[in-house]
Amino acid sequence: MRRASLALFASATVLAATPALAQAPQVEKNISMALSMAIMQGALDQCTKDGYKVSVVVVDKGGNVAASVRGDGTGPHTTEFARMKAYTARTRNQTSLATMKQMEDPAFSFLKQIPNVVGVGGGVPIKAGNEVIGGVGVSGAPGGEKDEVCANAGLAKVADALK
């Protein structure tokens, strides 16, 4: 009888604590404005040095635009395309170039049906340690591989902050 009472007491204690734990706020890493601006500047600096006019977009952990800049002399489509590349990198947790390679495999054809996911280079996930907290997308250089070089240059500018 004593053992049954102890088990009942333990169960009641756990059940009583569950609602309190469910109400605790989440604490998570995300993109700050300062981080977004530094990444964009690093990407723009690299592409400008390479002679490319680009737009850069940073999305946060939820895939929402944290910051964007349309570079001087860029086409009107570059900002939206950069956003989709950043979104792809964030939601797929890999570069948009890697997503492009996956889309070539018929087993991954479903990826073509996901809104705002694109299969072209220029999107790179932003990681704090091993956790993906956002994505950066660059559009406007002649080829996704060149856009990706610029995105990686932006991330290199903030590498110490992301450790």
Residue 6 is predicted with a pLDDT of 53
SS3 content of the chain, % helix, strand, coil (to 5): 55, 15, 30
Q: What is the pLDDT of residue 38?
A: 98
Flag whether pLDDT at 14 surpasses 60. Answer: no
Strand 131-139 relative to strand 123-128, pairing: antiparallel
Sorting pLDDT into bands at 50, 70 and 90, what band is 149? very high
Q: Which pLDDT band holds residue 111 (cuts at 50, 70, 90)?
A: very high
Tens digit of each residue's pLDDT (9 = 90 or more) over 26-79: 889 999 999 999 999 999 999 999 999 999 999 999 999 999 999 999 999 999
Contact criterion met (CB below 8 Å) for 134 and 58:
yes
Residue 23, pLDDT > 90, answer no
Among 150, 49, 46, 34, which Cα is nearest to 97's?
150
Q: Which amino acid is at 2?
A: R
As given in the structure block, the two tokens for residue 51 are 């002679």
* Percent of the chain with pLDDT strictly greater than 90: 82
Rounded Cα gap, residues 95 and 21, in angstroms: 36
Task: Confirm if 89 and 135 have CB atoms less than 8 A apart.
Answer: yes
Torsion angles phi and psi, residue 135, rounded to 5: -155, 155
Q: What is the pTM of this model?
A: 0.85
